[in-house]
Chains A and B, each alone.
Chain A
């Protein structure tokens, strides 16, 4: 705790677009009192000061290099509570799409040509593959109100509760017409709710950015997508956009 009794909080980023930290900044538009409730000691994207005595660490981004593991472990050693912020940290997010390519050497050569060896990279993974994570805020990007809610619960000493029911529940509450009835496709039946079904509400099918519900029936989902007219390539793409990470794959692909 700081001398003023406020918990000290720090933000860190790994391979990501930093959109989740920007969403945190956006939360200040409506909840400026947030900066009264905690003391932010490190937030490289927004401030110069750099304190190392934090209790709560929010980590955005996936781990994609051996050398990043050390920085993650240092954060874990310092923080009493580590929160994975957003899809990249939580599920590996879109970063894990590169794991689906034929080989990581091919991926590196495709982008950096004959200089590929200059650029380290190993299979992208959620931070929970490297360190213990106490809580997660799903989504690409995170939902700012869910972020505020998680902060409140952590400050009250509670384990944050994130919905474990499917998105369809929220979509029905919004009284949206089901996208399958309009000729579209959607991963709502197997995706974790909590975003207010924003994509279906704006006319686009859920892409699964919040990760899957516990015990999802993925085979039934694939059948439904196939009946809706998707080819095998198309439905596998849909299933993997945010959920490409496979622990076994990350272990078998050579760490280069």
Chain B
């Protein structure tokens, strides 16, 4: 009978520290754990007593990859707590900035963290010599998305110009026009990306789960909306705890969540499954080229959904730039605190999935309580459940093959462990 001992200590090409531990004795699965070993950072506790306007700057530091997403969710929580209305101009700029981060994060994940597995490489570095066109394309897309964020907020990692109620800086018309040209030119790179992904041999593994994301009436939702699940549930943002139901497990410094089943999935694939109808036609064509149509239940195809979203975000960015150019940008009066606090929830569907920030602010403008629920935390339970289902299907393969497949599974979720504390390591003990 088969014995398998896998112990991947600190899984690589993911953000943060996690381990995979698998122990199969005589063909029987004894242990299969997705362990999070990242040092906890306690952001929620640190926010207490700080002025409300610092929250988005402090919480963007939860994550270097999705700092715009954290800042946006944080601002929406504060704005909901303080009854701040934001202008249409601010909403358009935030959406455009958000698309920049979405593309930046997805290109990093698809090209630099996932693709090396399909080229038999340990990282993207050897591909620079063997497949220079692929690497240069990835760097080109990444530079475009980084520059898009910088145009609006000064930089992508830890954006500067975002504040409660609006922006401290506006892009100029010339910058917007130049960016529009680059976005249009990026269509070729998107086509190449989809063609490349269509050739990759994605591992075959199906396990249906509950898919959870934001949803809106009239657009593919990234900022605000309601919480929707493929099991048919819909919630207002204020009721987010009814979805997340956080709990702790002893082998992980990250909290887990569950809703209608033992676990649920968030991220690009969840958004794709919930909101496919609102994708741009070019993005739908990309999905077709990848053979994807809801309901997609192979978690490895989360990377495919990310590529589809990149196409959508390029197209929607072009539309947003046009709208901003049409309207013209004008300076707006900054928000002034009026001595009345409150409680608010803010939510965005960031690259790795739905994110919640929830603050209580007192009448002095100081934060009295905070709660942040991070996408990767919501995926930990689903990763664990996938591993438990996948290991018996592949247990007869060579151990190195099992290890690689499990690492690829974890990577497919694009876990952001420094967000969820930090996470990744495959251990076969």
Residues on A lying within 8 angstroms of B by beta carbon are 13-23, 25-26, 28-30, 32, 35, 40, 43-50, 61, 64-65, 68, 93-95, 97-98, 100-101, 106-108, 110-113, 115, 118-119, 121, 140-141, 198-199, 201-204, 207, 233-234, 237, 241
A202 in complex: contacting residue of B44, B45, B67, B160, CB < 8 Å: B160
Docked-complex contact A25 and B41, CB < 8 angstroms: no
- The CA-CA distance from A20 to B229 in the complex, in Å, is 35
- The CA-CA distance from A201 to B168 in the complex, in Å, is 10
Docked-complex contact B248 and A25, CB < 8 angstroms: no
B123 in complex: contacting residue of A16, A20, A48, A106, CB < 8 Å: A48
- The CA-CA distance from A48 to B114 in the complex, in Å, is 11
Docked-complex contact B122 and A48, CB < 8 angstroms: yes
Chain-A contact segment, one of B139-147, B237-245, B266-274, B288-296: B139-147
Min Cβ gap B93→A in Å is 13
Q: Which of B107-132 contact A (CB under 8 A)?
A: 108, 112-113, 116, 122-125, 128
The 8 closest A-B pairs by CB, nearest first: A19-B64, A203-B168, A47-B123, A48-B122, A202-B154, A97-B46, A202-B160, A107-B45
Interface: B201 (CB within 8 A):
no
Interface: B380 (CB within 8 A):
no
- The CA-CA distance from A19 to B66 in the complex, in Å, is 9
A107 in complex: contacting residue of B10, B42, B128, B364, CB < 8 Å: B42
B58 in complex: contacting residue of A64, A97, A119, A233, CB < 8 Å: A97
Residues on B lying within 8 angstroms of A by beta carbon are 10, 12-17, 38-42, 44-46, 48-51, 54, 57-58, 61-65, 67, 108, 112-113, 116, 122-125, 128, 139, 142-143, 146, 153-155, 157-158, 160-161, 163, 167-169, 248, 250, 253, 255, 364, 366, 418-419, 422
Write out the residue numbers on chain B whose beta carbons fall within 8 Å of the beta carbon of A15.
Answer: 38-39, 41, 422
Docked-complex contact B62 and A17, CB < 8 angstroms: yes
Docked-complex contact B62 and A29, CB < 8 angstroms: no
Given A98-B45, A107-B42, 11 other A-B residues pairs in contact with their CB atoms under 8 A: A17-B62, A32-B139, A44-B17, A47-B12, A47-B122, A64-B40, A101-B45, A141-B157, A233-B366, A234-B51, A237-B50
Docked-complex contact B143 and A64, CB < 8 angstroms: no
Closest to B123 in A: A47
Write out the residue numbers on chain B whose beta carbons fall within 8 Å of the beta carbon of A40.
Answer: 125
Write out the residue numbers on chain B whose beta carbons fall within 8 Å of the beta carbon of A110.
Answer: 42, 44-45, 48
- The CA-CA distance from A108 to B154 in the complex, in Å, is 34
Given A119-B253, A204-B161, A29 and B64 touching (CB < 8 A)? Answer: no
Closest to A17 in B: B64
9 examples of A-B residue contacts, CB within 8 angstroms: A16-B418, A19-B64, A26-B157, A46-B124, A47-B13, A94-B58, A201-B169, A233-B364, A233-B366
Given A46-B124, A48-B123, A237-B51, A121 and B42 touching (CB < 8 A)? Answer: yes
Write out the residue numbers on chain A whose beta carbons fall within 8 Å of the beta carbon of B10.
Answer: 44
Write out the residue numbers on chain A whose beta carbons fall within 8 Å of the beta carbon of B146.
Answer: 26, 29
Min Cβ gap B104→A in Å is 9
B44 in complex: contacting residue of A13, A111, A233, CB < 8 Å: A111
Docked-complex contact B12 and A48, CB < 8 angstroms: yes
Q: What number of residue pairs across chains A and B have CB atoms under 8 A from each other?
A: 175
B61 in complex: contacting residue of A94, A121, A202, CB < 8 Å: A94
- The CA-CA distance from A13 to B168 in the complex, in Å, is 32
- The CA-CA distance from A141 to B54 in the complex, in Å, is 17
Write out the residue numbers on chain A whose beta carbons fall within 8 Å of the beta carbon of B62.
Answer: 17
Docked-complex contact A201 and B154, CB < 8 angstroms: yes
Write out the residue numbers on chain A whose beta carbons fall within 8 Å of the beta carbon of B40.
Answer: 64, 111-112, 119, 121
Docked-complex contact A111 and B12, CB < 8 angstroms: no
Min Cβ gap A45→B in Å is 6
Docked-complex contact B168 and A204, CB < 8 angstroms: yes
- The CA-CA distance from A233 to B364 in the complex, in Å, is 10
Closest to B117 in A: A48
- The CA-CA distance from A207 to B422 in the complex, in Å, is 25
Docked-complex contact B45 and A141, CB < 8 angstroms: no
- The CA-CA distance from A90 to B65 in the complex, in Å, is 20
A28 in complex: contacting residue of B16, B46, B139, B418, CB < 8 Å: B139
- The CA-CA distance from A121 to B422 in the complex, in Å, is 14
Min Cβ gap A146→B in Å is 13
Instruction: Kindly name the residue among B143, B157, B167, B255 whose own CB sees the greatest number of chain A CB atoms within 10 A.
Output: B157
Min Cβ gap A208→B in Å is 12
- The CA-CA distance from A140 to B59 in the complex, in Å, is 12
